Structure 1
Amino acid sequence: MYIPGGTAPLFSTVLMLAVPAQIAGCKEIVLCSPPNKKGELAPEILFAANLCGVTKIIKVGGIQAVAGLTFGTESIPQVYKIFGPGNQFVTVAKQLATKHGVAIDMPAGPSELLVVADKSANAAYIASDLLSQAEHGTDSQVILVSTSKDIIEKVSNEIEKQLEVLPRKAIAEKAIANSKLIYVENHEVALEMINEYGPEHFIICTEANEFYVDGIRNAGSVFIGDYTPESAGDYASGTNHTLPTNGFSKAYSGVNLDSFLKQMTFQKISKEGLLNIGETIELMAEAEGLQAHKNAVSIRLKDLK
């Protein structure tokens, strides 16, 4: 597990990863997180790790943590699979790890949020949601797509107002500078754009919520209505907050119990069973030009007939 800790102690990510790992029956759970300038990990992260049964904690962060988990060192064990979000460098390092026999949950990070809104939306709510993701890091991206120019203007004003009182203003400000407020003519255009973008978090605040719920195909997690802030998903609504970014929601789901499981298949065929399906196997193998495949069945059928 990779737990970010550079500018905020994300103990909630420990819960999001270690709890399903425990339920899945993982026998060894290794946690890597960057220490502070004193060489210490945040007590919140340590407490959550202890609460969730993490078996090993290593004070290391960034791409070096991913490299250690991939190849193994004297102090970092090599693992089967790496989970957790990170900045753009950690995300690329995880993708490179897959070239060396280590699986990953998904490319996860930097943070993204897209809100779709119309004239019925609450501008203050939308601004607060956009800022809740912008404060994650300077490389976060937040986007508002709206069919109302009036809402776009009101949200822009609200962002400026709410930004002033944030302790992490400097971080959020840089993220907002790289973000977009986009006007579209109608909901159909908006939905097409959103499915192409594939946001990590997708908030719907319109009079046509069902249109988006029915039509969304590519998103990590969807938040419906004025009273479903994205931060609820980060902490307590029951969904997992480790989600695909950079458009990877087109191919990946967020972390869930299945992420910590794999399946094996078993088969045992009786004499009668082989007599029943043997000819089918022979015909298919012959059609594919794989004579040895066919012979492995034919030699047995010959003894049975």
Structure 2
Amino acid sequence: MAIGNKKFIVTLICFVSVAKATSQLKSLVDKLDEGGINVDQFKNQFPAEFPKGNFSMENAKDMVKDKCIKELGQEKGTEAYQEIESATLSLGECITGIFNYSAMQEEIAEASPKGELDVVFNKYCAKQPDLVICMENFNQKLVPCLDKDERESQDVFMRMVHKLLEFVCHKGGDQIALFIAEKGPECLQGNRDAIQNCFNNTFASYVPAEGLETVKSLPKLVLNPEQCEDIYRLETCIVQKLETCEEITPANIIESLFRFMKNETICRNSGPHRLVSGNTNTLSISLPIILSVSLLQLLNIYNRYIVYND
């Protein structure tokens, strides 16, 4: 197995870990676990035959800091890393200010029986420009720690963020309202284990047999054809599981989400041996991060705030 492949999942975990510094650094795990993303929880999703090791939040932070120092030198690299820490805190405060999970839960619970979910999602989708600004400000702090190829990927990354928000907030959130109305949350919940197996079967081979803690440096943050193929396999697996639900709409919406975001990358035609020509080493690894974490987060949010709220 190539070293780059072994490090792929480590990269995902590292950047999820750093992004978790969005509330208070001293209470990262507790705060962000409310939203469903937890480093230890993520590691525990892999099959038992793969050692989890002692890879920690500090390991992830050290790897990001080392990358900054490698690109900028000791003094400037340390300063850049501190800027990233500060930016993650600001990002979290920004997101929390825009989306209050508790308030959203109450609003959804109140609006759902009345058939007024569109009102709730219209309200939050109106805040989309504010969220974009938050993401752009955070993204700017990452750039100094990236090399030339990685920097070239930042436009792609931000286009993907825009596309994700555009998809979710299409016509003021009609996609979300339709997803809920067509029993999407129940569909996800009913296939939770099957979807988890899709992640396991797709990404488990990326985990070093000797454990995550043996990887000491952050790999180059680029997306290559192999990852495109894996994303295609993940998409196919998840959609097939969701197609077993009573309604076909949830599967169609999740499939559209995958493809809507992939359209901004070399993976837009991904499938067996179908990739866009060009430099395949200049696009950000952000795609698998966003897709994987977004779907895991989606499962968790609906599980917490909608399915169990009935």
TM over 0.5: no
**Larger RCO (CA within 8 A; separation ≥ 6):** 2
TM-score by length of 1: 0.24
User: Greater strand percent: which structure?
Assistant: 1
Q: TM-score, normalised by structure 2?
A: 0.23
Q: Greater Rg, structure 1 or structure 2?
A: 1
